Structures are given as structure tokens and as C-alpha cells.
Amino acid sequence: MPLLDIRGLKTHFKTDDGWLHAVDGVDLAIDAGETVCVVGESGCGKSVTAKTVMKLIDMPPGKIVAGQVLWQGRDLVPLGPEEMQKIRAKEIAIVFQEPMTSLNPVYTVGAQIAESIRLHEGLSKRDALDRAVEMLKLVNIPTPERRVKDYPHQFSGGMRQRVMIAIALACNPKLLIADEPTTALDVTIQAQILDLMVELKERMGMAIMLITHAMGVVAETAQRVVVMYAGKVVEEASVEDLFARPRHPYTQGLIRSIPRIDTAATHKVRLEAIGGTVPKLIDPAEGCRFADRCKHAMPACRTATPPLVEAKPGHKVACILEAALA
């Protein structure tokens, strides 16, 4: 049984113009101890999928229209706020892109880490603070005994993200969801944070669901990759397979748009960006949502939505070209 098994999930939002199908039939499973990257352009439904798992969607205007979120076999969709509170942090923790908005500026970071530990594990204040120091040490913050007494603004962006990871891991979750955790940071710091996450994952034996729009991040961290486009999963494969043999035209475009360091250094390379824009997701029509941007598109692509099928073991694709082969 997978640790997390998202099945047929649809999360829609009511707008003045109609229903926005932000997540529209997503299947996604994560095994214990595994690192899965969810990749796609902004607005493809990655964050909404993660927030639905954590039940952090405002309802209304949001609504889980269909599907299940099985956590160790138990569906989280029907759970109320109290039950979800027990699962959040203790079993599944989440880290967002902008740590400054998640940290409270008026409390020391030590107090905030300790608070999270106390809330979930009922430790004394003294013990929780000791644990906070340990957690800062774990995420490689220098002089943690001194730093626990500092406020968020006294940390750099990269150090704040380390603090957020410390808070997330304080209760030893089985799954860490990281939503663009390094996007706001500069490249060197990004690499350090990703390395730290991979290292902690090994040490603590947790699984990671890493959400990113950057294929470079995927290549460095993932074991398995789920590619999303316009609210749907269009491809899923091991990281090796996805980069060596991408099968969906969208994934092929994403991989071609990665700057090649070897050639970029000597020539002015133009990235082959994917032309066109993501379709509007208000009451979308049937058919492949990538059709307007796909150079292989044919009339049949617009009449029915291609299902996600296993093209070969462990490699799934949602494209009519694959369905024709299967």
C-alpha cells in the first residue's frame, strides 16, 4: 500500500465566470521513503493538489468535487478540522516557497519550533526548547543555542527556509511536502537547501513530495517524476526514464527548454520554449488540454480526453499517440 494514494482527485473553485477546474482528475501515489517531484508550469494544479492533501483549501470557493486522498489507506477527504490537525505536522508536514509569510515575526524561531513540538507531542516548555535547538542543529544552522533566541528577520532567506524545514520535521513526519521551497532563493542557496532535504530524508526515512517548475531541480532530487499540465497528470516515470525518453509532447518541450550548460557557455543558445499559453480552466472542454500547443495535435485529440495509460512498466502517459500504440 502506498503511503499516500491520491485517486481521481478534482478540486474546483467557484468564480464569477464559472467553475475553475484547478485539479481535474489527478492520480498520484507516493511510497514510504520515496522522493517524488511534481513538475509543471505555474497554474497547472501542483500547489492545489498539495493543499488539498493537507486540507488547506478555502472551502468555499474551493470544493473537492471528486476523488480520494488515501493516507496509509484512510481517506482524508471526509475528515474534519480536528482530525486533520492531528495528521498535519505529525504525519504530513508542508513547507512553502516564502518562509517569511509562514513565520510569525513577533516570536523567536525557537519559540515557534517549540510551539509546534508542544502542540503535537505535549512536551514541557524546557524539553521543547531543547528539541528546537537540536532541530536547528539538524538543519545546519550555526550556533543553534544562540540562534533559537533570534527573530525571523534576523535570518537570511536561506536560513529562514532552514528554520521552516526544522519546524516541518520537528514532529518526525512520514511525508514532507515541499512547495517550491527554493524558488525564492538564489542558485547556490537553492542547491544547499535541496541537498539538505535529500540528506534529512535519508536520515529520517521520510518520503518527500517536491513541487517545482524547474526541471533542473527535478533532475537533482527526484526518484520518480509526475508531470502536470492544466490540472491533469500527463506523464509519470522514473527520473532516468523521463529525461532519457520523455513520451508526452509537453514533457519533451519542458526538457528541451532546459539550458544546456556546456553549449550555453560558448554559444548564445536560444531556449526552445513551448509556444502558446496554458488553456483557461473555467469549465474546460473535452479533449487534450495541450492540443493548442502541440505540434502533433490532430482532430481526435480535441474530441476525447486522453487517459493516463501505462506505456511501459512504471511509465505512464496521457496522449492519444500512446493510446494508439497500446
Check residue 206 for interaction with ligand SF4 (CB under 6 A). no
Q: According to the binding rule CB under 6 A, does residue 297 interact with ligand SF4? A: yes
3-state secondary structure the chain: CCCEEEEEEEEEEEECCEEEEEEEEEEEEECCCCEEEEECCCCCCHHHHHHHHCCCCCCCCEEEEEEEEEECCEECCCCCHHHHHHHECCCEEEECCCHHHHCCCCCCHHHHHHHHHHHHHCCCHHHHHHHHHHHHHHCCCCCHHHHCCCCHHHCCHHHHHHHHHHHHHCCCCCEEEEECCCCCCCHHHHHHHHHHHHHHHHHHCCEEEEEECCHHHHHHHCCEEEEEECCEEEEEEEHHHHHHCCCCHHHHHHHHCCCCHHHHHHCCCCCCCCCCCCCCCECCCCCCCCHHHCCCCCHHHHCCCCCCEEEECCEEECCHHHHHHC
Subset of residues 246 to 275 that bind ligand SF4, contact rule: CB under 6 A: 249
Binding string to ligand SF4 for residues 21 to 40, with x set by CB under 6 A, is what?
--------------------
- The residue (of 47 and 108) whose beta carbon lies closer to Mg ion is 47
Least Cβ distance, residue 295 to Mg ion (angstroms): 27
Shortest separation between residue 250's beta carbon and ligand SF4, angstroms: 6
Q: How far is the CB of 180 from Mg ion (least distance, A)?
A: 6
Q: How many residues bind ligand SF4 (CB under 6 A)?
A: 12
CB 212, min distance to ligand SF4, A: 22
Q: Does 11 bind Mg ion (CB under 5 A)?
A: no
Q: Whose Cβ is closer to ligand SF4: residue 5's or residue 235's? A: 235
The answer to the question of residue 182 lying near Mg ion (CB under 5 A) is no
- Residue 290 CA to residue 235 CA, distance in Å, equals 12
Residue 229 makes contact with ligand SF4 by CB under 6 A: no
Compare residues 45 and 152 and give the one whose CB is closer to ligand SF4: 45
Residue choice 11, 35, 47, 221 for contact with Mg ion (CB under 5 A) = 47
285 near ligand SF4, rule: CB under 6 A: no
Decide: is 319 part of the binding site for ligand SF4 (CB under 6 A): yes
Does the footprint of ligand SF4 cover residue 296 (CB under 6 A)?
yes
Binding partner of residue 47 among Mg ion, ligand SF4, none, CB under 5 to 8 Å per kind? Mg ion
Q: Which of 103, 294, 308, 311 binds ligand SF4 (CB under 6 A)?
A: 294
Contacts (Cβ under 8 Å, ≥6 apart) of 258: 215, 216, 271
Contact residues toward ligand SF4 (CB under 6 A) are 249, 288, 290-291, 294, 296-297, 301, 306, 319-321
